[in-house]
Amino acid sequence: MIPLDDRGLLLGDGLFETMLWRAGELVAVDDHLERMAAGCAILGLPAPDRVQAKALMRQAVSEAGLDGERAAVRLTLTAGSGGRGLDRPETPAPRLLATAAATVAPTTPARLMVSAVTRNEGSPASRLKTLAYLDNVLARREARNAGADEAILLNGRGHLACAAAANLFWLRDGRVFTPALDCGVLDGIVRRQVMAAVAVTEVAAGLEALADAQAMFLTNSLIGVREVGILDGRGFEPSARVAEIAGLLGLRSSSR
């Protein structure tokens, strides 16, 4: 039971990581824990013990009866209990939690729309997986209400940033592009894998950059590589290049 004075509950003070459990393993678990530790350093919190974190996540999978299944495993670190107001206790005592739920890989291309919600690229939180995810919640809700799967967020300068829960890539003239991190982008685990596998150009570009894109795709740890089929009514044909990129990562891209 989380106490009522927990700073994660009251203030969104903390971090989380969501990773894939597949074939009895936590996929890229060390990359996720490294990213959480880097976020803790920025927030001024002690990083969780990695052995404890892995044990908690495996326990969550086992207790949910998902050992042999495909599951989403969430590791949550709160800043722990604190008094009234913004100031943390002099010595924070973070609280570490893990949950697991069954998840199914998408099998169809994503339907995207551009959200009215903007990404605050000036905030350190825009590049971290903090517990304050309300902008992402609102953008996803807007997309669902519009009959889309995901929403693209622009930042305060009008540059492409990301989707509500994924990194964004597009192909133009044989080249692969993605928004730069300083556009308010989370340094996604699969994003890193794509950039290690193929040449990717990081840019600060507005929505017009997608006007002549031949293909688009989204990435995160649960969906892997998901091709985009529609953006605000504009259709995209299946891309052999996106399928090739997914294959280099040992994944399959979604297809019609």
> pTM to 2 decimals?
0.95
Q: What is the pLDDT of residues 28-46, one digit of tens each?
A: 999 999 999 999 999 999 9
- d(Cα 56, Cα 99) in Å, to the nearest integer? 9
Of the given ranges (57-61, 83-87, 244-248), which has the lowest mean pLDDT?
83-87
CATH number at 110-248 = 3.20.10.10
Percent of residues, the chain, with pLDDT higher than 90: 93
Residues in the chain: 256
Q: What is the pLDDT of residues 215-225, one digit of tens each?
A: 999 999 999 99
pLDDT for the residue 39? 97
Q: 7-102: which CATH architecture? A: 2-Layer Sandwich (3.30)
pLDDT for the residue 83? 78
Q: pLDDT at residue 255 above 70? A: no
Percent of residues, the chain, with pLDDT higher than 70: 98
Report the pLDDT averaged over residues 101-116: 96
Location of structure tokens 């990081």: 202
Q: pLDDT at residue 142 above 80? A: yes
pLDDT for the residue 16? 98
Taking Cα atoms as reference points, which of 22, 20, 5 lies closest to residue 75?
20
Q: What is the pLDDT of residues 145-197, one digit of tens each?
A: 999 999 999 999 999 999 999 999 999 999 999 999 999 999 999 999 999 99
Q: pLDDT at residue 256 above 80? A: no
Kindly indicate the confidence band of residue 84, based on its pLDDT and cuts at 50, 70 and 90.
Answer: confident
Mean pLDDT of the chain: 95
pLDDT for the residue 145? 97
The two three-digit tokens of residue 230, written as one number: 């529609």
pLDDT for the residue 6? 95
228, β-bridge pairs: 110
- d(Cα 220, Cα 190) in Å, to the nearest integer? 6
Q: Where are the domains of the chain?
A: 7-102, 110-248
Q: pLDDT at residue 241 above 80? A: yes
Of the given ranges (17-26, 78-87, 134-143, 189-198), which has the lowest mean pLDDT?
78-87
Kindly indicate the confidence band of residue 254, based on its pLDDT and cuts at 50, 70 and 90.
Answer: low
Q: What is the pLDDT of residues 63-73, one digit of tens each?
A: 999 999 999 99
**Is the CB of residue 199 less than 8 Å from the CB of residue 193?**
no
